[in-house]
Amino acid sequence: MNSASGCSRLEAEVARIIGGIGTSHIPAIGLAMAKNQYRDPYWKPFFDAYQPVRAWLGETRPTVAVVVYNDHGLNFFLDKMPTFAVGAATEYCNADEGWGLPTQRPFPGNAAMSWHLIEQLAAADFDLTTCQEMFVDHGFVVPMQLLWPDAPSWPVRTIPIHVNTVQHPLPSPARCLKFGEVLGRAIESWPANERVVVLGTGGLSHQLDGRRAGFINKPFDLYCLEKIVHEPELLARYSIRDLIEFAGTQGPELIQWLIMRGALGADVRKLESNYHVPISNTGSGLLLLEKAA
């Protein structure tokens, strides 16, 4: 009996992924929140879609958020752009990017868990940049604000994971799905009783420059929102060139959603899905997936 009791305690003291959230991170969202435009007719359909997701977070009470995003020049630039970078700090500071966004209070980290993830990912042959100091930009901050807009303090500790979607060559969708699968196993081998939510941020289709500036492909975005739930391998078959053709030059941000999806494992349940095109010419998706018990 003592042995069985000991096993039960050990099994309880392991991190568990409770779900994943895919969400846009465009700076215009942060500006709308700063101006309290939640009820503005233009923004209301967008912000209303997040209410059920916030309710789910309130019920499940995650303790750690792993945020997969792409840095936009605040922490890395074209002269030094890692493919994957993982934060390993005790806190992460936000700074002015030039968008007029209010600077947010620091985000608490979980350095010990970060190093565990780094070690597991490196053991699976993913080459990483490890950051013991790391600024986080709107790609990280806007999703946190959307999900916990009124919290007096951040209710989760965070682990930022940057993915290069800016300086070619970019990691392939297939590689990012695999990265997510390894990440999920690494999270759930962390020996602490943590409830983890994984955020995949960015996109969906958008192009901010060139002859196709303003390009949005709603049918492709809706296809991605559908297939990523139970058939993410279909999206992983695309090349980066394919994603640029179908979703615009910034469309490869979908690979961050694939990392989130890979981390959840095979069995998930879709709880919420929404699609909206707010300002900034971006097809903005929202997806809440619950990991099977």
Q: What's the pLDDT score for residue 15?
A: 97
Entry pTM: 0.94
Q: What's the pLDDT score for residue 9?
A: 43
The pLDDT of 133-154, averaged and rounded, is 94
Q: What's the pLDDT score for residue 291?
A: 95
pLDDT exceeds cutoff 90 at 293: no
Q: What's the pLDDT score for residue 2?
A: 45
Q: What's the pLDDT score for residue 279?
A: 61
Residue 253 token pair? 């941000």
* Domains assigned to the chain: 15-291 (3.40.830.10)
Q: pLDDT digit string (tens) for 108-135?
A: 999 999 999 999 999 999 999 999 999 9
Q: What's the pLDDT score for residue 12?
A: 58
Q: pLDDT digit string (tens) for 44-54?
A: 999 999 999 99
> For a pLDDT cut of 90, what percent of the chain falls above it?
82
Confidence of residue 280 (pLDDT cuts 50, 70, 90): low
Report the catalytic residues.
Answer: 138, 206
Higher pLDDT, 228 or 3: 228
Contact 89, 131 (CB under 8 A): yes
